[in-house]
Amino acid sequence: MSIVSLNVNGALHEVDIDPATPLLYVLRNDLGLRGPRFGCGLGQCGTCTVIIDGNAVRSCQLPAAAVNGAITTLEGLAQDGSLHPLQQAWIDEQVPQCGYCQNGQIMTAKALLDRNPDPSDAEIRAGMDGALCRCMTYYRIHAAIKRVVSAQDAGTAAAAHTGDANDQEAAV
Amino acid sequence: MSTPLQFPKAIEDALQRIDPSLSRRKFLASSGALVLSLGINAVPGGRVLAQALASGPYPDPDFLQLDTWIVIHPDNTATFFVGKTDGGQGTGTAFRQMMCDELDMAYAQTRLVMGSTDTTPDQGGSGGSDGIEADGWPMRRVAAEARRVLLELAAERLNMPVDALTVSEGRISALSDSSQSVTYAELVGGRRFDVALTGQNINATSGAAAVKPVQQLRVVGQPIQRYDIPAKVDASLTWAVDMKVPGMLHARNVRPPVAGATLVSIDEASVASIPGVVRVVSRGNYVAVVCEREEQAIQAARDLKAEWTPPAQGPFPASKDLFDYMRAATPTSSSEPRVTGDPAAAFASAAQVLEADYEVPFQGHTAIGPAFALADPSDGQMTIYSNDMKSYGLRSGVAQFLDLPRDRVRVVYMDGPQVYGRTASDDAGFEAAFLAHELGRPVRVQWMRHEETAWDTKGPAYACRLRGALDADGKLTALEYDARSIDYAHLNYNEPDTVLIAQLMGRRPAQTAAGATATPSVQYGIPNQRMSTHVVALPLVWETPLRTGNLRDPNGPQVTFAYEAFIDELAAAARRDPAEFRLELIEASAEDNVFRRARSLAALRAAVAAYGGWQTRPAPNPQSAGPIHRGRGIAYTNRSNTIVAVIADVEVNRDTGHVWVRRLVCAHDCGLAINPMGLKHTVECGMLHGLSRALHEEVQFDEEKVTSVDWLTHPSMRHSDTPERIDIVLVNGDPNPERPDLPHYGAGETSHKPMIAAVANAIFDATGVRMRRAPFRKERVLEALRDSRS
């Protein structure tokens, strides 16, 4: 065991762990985060994705002690109480079925749009291809990403509310 | 009334899970404070909930008490308690809509709690896509009864007859003078209804009130957003896998290296140097390591050395030899053939006879999150946190397995990865409970990827032989269907003697389940038919990774592939348009139970209309030069009373064999649509799941073990496979949307069912080559294309 320092969602943490422990288990079990989830432990499905210095990274295979950069998890996307546009688009398009993989979908999409704010359909398919969904929400995911892109293009958030979703849910 | 009251923790927990923004403080402020001041008999939900305050026992909520189903809070909101689970198809939102309408409350005034055995009545959890179709009815009836009771209370309070009153959004007012009114909360908020219901079983539960006619439903039919989605995208949801309890240990299973192997010995020294190992548990051939930390358990399971004796007889043939084995095997059972007309005579006088074999391999659930459960044995109880869609079955099964009184076991249902049938979440629940019972501490069991992909339950492999006779006019005069499936010892849900841990421990039922092989679900009028089915077994029946169990529409995709692809062959041989050929077959059908013939015709026509520009022509499509060939394929089926017709447009690359389904069209009829948006999304994702099975999914094994163990060896559909366009038409309601009792049928599986057939038919249209063996991976397609040239 040894002390490992991690910068997660802007906060510094020190954990006393076997330094070879994959980052995923430290985030979930030591820091109590719920965004990144275990899917394969092999870096093949993307369910555990976090963003480190702008790159979408599979946390299930990365030793915690090997992380140098700042880590952003799904919990860190919302700013000042407002959802990230991708999160809002995921709600507007009603993307998830079970939702278990959606951490990886959203984090992969964020890294994609940060790198390429105006991707073509082919670039969305290629950029997202490593993020698996067994409920097969891919078509809805593409719609949500395009919704964010078109809202950016229009330069207005109003464009983000034109879909078939009809929000009648209110806070109770 | 004097018993001091604790806060109803079970309700609070349940509400927190569905709405994490609802803090304990907020809940208290909104409704609990009044409850606190009223004493135990005033607790909404009654005695059952009061008992749940303590740490067990956990008796069954009484489904014959209205308070079990509906609680009106002092702030004029309501909570519904239903015994179903929602795997992400939006059934929770739909149930809420149905109950809102009957109770006359706005959707935003309500919440819904699902599927935890100590807080919700036992409606069995999910299965068979019949939640909306069957379980929605008692929900509607109890909500209607609550409205009736509230109207009577209001009549008394306002001193006027019930028929002089009207209800809107939980407020009852006089028809003549809306200033005279009273809210539901003012009548019963925070207090019990104390109304008994009637019914021989939970499905028959009813009060005195009648449900509303369809024309009066207002919340039903609205495309309301799912309540569970925001917490799934902002990371605020506590999933089952997130649950942590004090003193919790982490376990990993160690499976036999060869299917059917017997454990000889375990070398515990092989993991002695790993810190945190608490115990190596073995019982029969079940082995697990239990550790303080998760990564320690993963390492210990990987490093544990054990000696195993392989079985005397090989467990199964290699997957490449599977269909030869199936055809040669002596069936364990055969159905009495179902014969109509005189098929032999029709074949004898046929102008053309076609014959073809269709094959579908074992396909797995392969959930995106491997099976999981956490079991907590604290306070002499056994609490299991699980996403098992049959939480009630898990509770009963574990109680039997561990010989615990049933009311000492509860299952807290929480969200988790996909549950399209009998997944390994059943198995993980038993394993966690067993280990927690053994160690006397909470144990979290998490299967690894290789374990999930190899050892979860499988949809049965099918080998079907079809023969068809066409007369000189190209009319289908006879059809024979003969199917074999490997479905012997098919597993039910949560049985204490068939879950994997029981099998490995040698605890088995005296007899296996017989299994079953299915026949097609279509509405075709074919004068002469013969339908026969057989079940065949693999050599290894127990302790096998090729356990069959229900996978989304358990036999439908396999059977419908064979049947609907063969119908396509017959249409092509008759030089007929495949849609017209089917329409004529449906029109020739003599039956019209639940308007199934009329609705089938409507669905097929709606699919063709939505496709747009459908050219009436036989397949295959005349091809131009170049490597990319395009084609369309249609398939139709029903599941119970739900009808579906789908059309797939494909591109086949003749140089690589790669198939891309560019576009999907679906016409879907499941009666009354409760939430058209949620319905469309479920239909869409069901189709794409079917597409994944058509293009990619196949369990592969050698003569010892399953060899497809991860996403490289067991590929699944990806983003790059996704169609660029999907059109879904809800033809619900045809032929008579105005009938007051228009039923609501299920929708979780029907659109999944015809997909393999639709894609195969489209590949034929594009290339002139019939793919009769799923999945249509590019190597297999390329080989078929080459064979067709030589």
pLDDT of B623 strictly over 90: no
Give the model's pLDDT for residue B737: 60
3-state helix, strand, coil in chain A (%, to 5): 40, 15, 45
pLDDT of A56 strictly over 60: yes
User: At B64, is the pLDDT very low, low, confident or very high (cuts 50, 70, 90)?
Assistant: very high
pLDDT-above-70 percentage for chain B = 92
Q: B434-492, pLDDT tens digit by residue? A: 999 999 999 999 999 999 999 999 999 999 999 999 999 999 999 999 999 999 999 99
Q: B125-175, pLDDT tens digit by residue? A: 999 999 999 999 999 999 999 999 999 999 999 999 999 999 999 999 999
User: At B671, is the pLDDT very low, low, confident or very high (cuts 50, 70, 90)?
Assistant: very high
- For residue B20, cis peptide bond before it (omega within 30 degrees of 0): no
pLDDT-above-90 percentage for chain B = 88
The burial class, CB within 10 Å (0-12 / 13-18 / 19+), for B348 is: exposed
Report ipTM for this prediction.
0.93
Give the model's pLDDT for residue B429: 98
Question: Which of B227, B716, B722 has the CB atom closest to A139's CB atom?
Answer: B722
Question: Which residue type is seen at B592?
Answer: D
Q: Does residue B194 come out as left (phi exceeding 0), alpha (psi in the -120 to 50 range) or beta?
A: left
Phi, psi angle pair for B280, to nearest 5°: -100, 120
Model confidence, pTM: 0.93
Q: Are B468 and B476 in contact (CB under 8 A)?
A: yes
pLDDT of B630 strictly over 70: yes
3-class secondary-structure state, position A2: strand
Query: Average pLDDT in the B409-428 region?
Result: 96
Q: Sort out which chain A residues have CB atoms less than 8 A from B19's CB and list them.
A: 172
Phi, psi angle pair for B64, to nearest 5°: -95, 15
- For residue B44, cis peptide bond before it (omega within 30 degrees of 0): no
User: At B742, is the pLDDT very low, low, confident or very high (cuts 50, 70, 90)?
Assistant: confident
Q: Are B629 and B654 in contact (CB under 8 A)?
A: yes
Give the model's pLDDT for residue B738: 66
Q: Sort out which chain A residues have CB atoms less than 8 A from B235's CB and list them.
A: 33-35, 73-75, 103
Q: Are B455 and B260 in contact (CB under 8 A)?
A: no
Q: Among B47-56, B262-271, B709-718, where is mean pLDDT lowest?
A: B47-56
In chain A, what is the straight-line distance between the N-terminal and C-terminal CA atoms, in Å? 46
Q: B170-186, pLDDT tens digit by residue? A: 999 999 999 999 999 99
Query: Average pLDDT in the B584-594 region?
Result: 89
Which two structure tokens, joined as six digits, stand for B314? 């090989």
pLDDT of B198 strictly over 70: yes
In angstroms, the CA A101 to CA B385 distance is 20
pLDDT of A160 strictly over 70: no
DSSP-derived letter for residue B144 is H
Q: A85-138, pLDDT tens digit by residue? A: 999 999 999 999 999 999 999 999 999 999 999 999 999 999 999 999 999 999
In angstroms, the CA B34 to CA B72 distance is 12
Q: Sort out which chain B residues have CB atoms less than 8 A from A44's CB and list them.
A: 449, 710-712
Which two structure tokens, joined as six digits, stand for B730? 């809800």
Shortest distance between the Cα of B30 and any Cα of chain A, in A, equals: 10
Query: Average pLDDT in the B298-303 region?
Result: 98
In angstroms, the CA B560 to CA B566 distance is 9
Give the model's pLDDT for residue B591: 81
Question: Which site among B229, B291, B674, B689 would you substitute to test the A interface, given the most A Cβ atoms closer than 10 Å to its Cβ?
Answer: B229
Give the model's pLDDT for residue B625: 86
pLDDT of B38 strictly over 80: no
Question: Which site among B386, B450, B712, B722 would you substitute to test the A interface, given the most A Cβ atoms closer than 10 Å to its Cβ?
Answer: B722
In angstroms, the CA B136 to CA B141 distance is 9
- Asked if B109's CB is within 8 angstroms of A166's CB, the reply is no
In angstroms, the CA B585 to CA B578 distance is 11
Question: Which residue type is seen at B349?
Answer: S
Strand B628-639 with A70-72, pairing: unpaired
Which two structure tokens, joined as six digits, stand for B597? 């013939």
- Asked if A100's CB is within 8 angstroms of B417's CB, the reply is yes
Q: Sort out which chain B residues have CB atoms less than 8 A from A74's CB and list them.
A: 233-235
Query: Average pLDDT in the B365-390 region?
Result: 97
- Asked if B681's CB is within 8 angstroms of A90's CB, the reply is no
Give the model's pLDDT for residue B201: 97
User: At B34, is the pLDDT very low, low, confident or very high (cuts 50, 70, 90)?
Assistant: very low
Which two structure tokens, joined as six digits, stand for A57? 């990274």
Among candidate residues B574, B599, B565, B618, the one with its CA nearest the CA of residue B734? B599
User: Hey, which residues does A2 pair with through a beta bridge?
Assistant: A17
In angstroms, the CA B484 to CA B319 distance is 16
Query: For chain B, what is the mean pLDDT?
Result: 92
User: At B14, is the pLDDT very low, low, confident or very high (cuts 50, 70, 90)?
Assistant: low
Whose tokens are 């985030």? That residue is A27
Q: Sort out which chain A residues have CB atoms less than 8 A from B720's CB and list them.
A: 125-126, 129
Query: Average pLDDT in the B686-698 region?
Result: 98
In angstroms, the CA B630 to CA B767 distance is 8
Give the model's pLDDT for residue B789: 81
